[in-house]
Structure 1
């Protein structure tokens, strides 16, 4: 295969000369990607995408769990404060089965127990019930 090359001569004339056509000086240089290279790059890209998506899902789940634990700690702190105030103000305490009964000097009677839904129930004799949901994380 030959190609035409325009060359300027000494006398300012252009002439066309046939020169042999060479693609490259090296035999191993090629112009595109092979199918194997394309498949390897697609596989690596899909693994990177899978890793990024799994990391994003784990981060979102962790953020949800952290907010749930923070809410539980707030509920437990509230239960602790109320129970501590009731115990401090009580004149006597007794336990019957799975319940705790606190009697104050003023005559008020508070009963604490866990119901079937694992909720801490505080009942004041004569009216007033408070239910606190306490979750257990294992």
Structure 2
């Protein structure tokens, strides 16, 4: 069961070169729905395409929706992420072109992305009393090695 809470503390165990990618948008003019709604809707076909076609290097994602939309994605490598972004017959390229034509610099909606290559020796993750989540869900997780056992508090 994918949502089973794991009571043994876990850590992520990603392969070297995995990428954490934050992408999203910020609604700057809420009343200009005709400006920001197409950008908002454009993300869903991309995510469906990526979930169906793992050969792009996409490992998984999580989305939070508010005034600022955040899509946290995990990729096998930066090269695969950048290749997908430039692939002419994938969903991203035409969505990016539509955004530039219809929004450009009018200020109604902002978009952003940040991509970070993971160095397993220089990262820290902990998942406690959680179902599989984040980097551990997208790549691999393993029990956390602790110096001393954690006492139960009931």
Higher relative contact order (CA 8 A, sep 6+): 2
Q: Whose radius of gyration is greater, 1 or 2?
A: 1
Identify, as 1 or 2, the structure richer in helix.
Answer: 1
Identify, as 1 or 2, the structure richer in strand.
Answer: 1
Same fold by TM-score greater than 0.5: no
TM-score of the superposed pair, with normalisation by structure 1: 0.26
TM-score of the superposed pair, with normalisation by structure 2: 0.24
